[in-house]
Amino acid sequence: MRTREKLVKLIDDAIKQYEDNTCIRFVKRTNQAKYVKIIKDGRKCYSHVGQVQRPQPQPLSLGGGCEFIGTVVHELGHAIGLYHEHQRSDRDTYITVYGQNVRAGNECCIVIRGYFAPIFMTSERISRLVACIFLKMGFSYFFLVE
């Protein structure tokens, strides 16, 4: 199977996870002005959170190194409006955030973001994500699961 075909299958499998486990349904684009356009931006994996307010496609990048089912599910989650679980409005009920352990410039990553509908993210996954991205050198966590 060619690389493009593998990526299309991966995207279809990620969409199937949402459709099998939630009330969310994805619709193939016909002539809509606003839609999610999956691109390959170098080695970057990203999406805006929720629909962008402009009449053009919303980019969702699945660059090199992003070809994993969990990554595709994660970025699709951002595209439909989901923030990270450590940013949910009730997070302080479940975890303790140690802001002093967050690397300078990444403080925005621990801001509480209002409404959140948890899907697919576990404490173990969150811990691995933040351990590689947000921490100052020498610290092993910025929150603890209670």
Residue 86 annotated as part of some ligand binding site? no
Task: Single out the residue of 40, 62, 57, 60 nearest to residue 49, CA to CA.
Answer: 60
Strands lying side by side in the sheet with 58-62: 36-39, 58-62, 45-47
Q: Is 48 annotated as a binding residue?
A: no
Contact 35, 58 (CB under 8 A): yes
Residue 130 CB neighbours (<10 A): 20
Q: Is 5 a catalytic residue?
A: no
* Residue given tokens 């493009």 in the structure block: 4
Catalytic residue of the set 5, 19, 67, 75: 75
The dihedral through the CA atoms of 25, 31, 34, 38 has a sign that is: positive
Residue numbers belonging to the annotated binding site for Zn(2+): 74, 78, 84
Residue numbers belonging to the annotated binding site: 74, 78, 84
Active site residues: 75
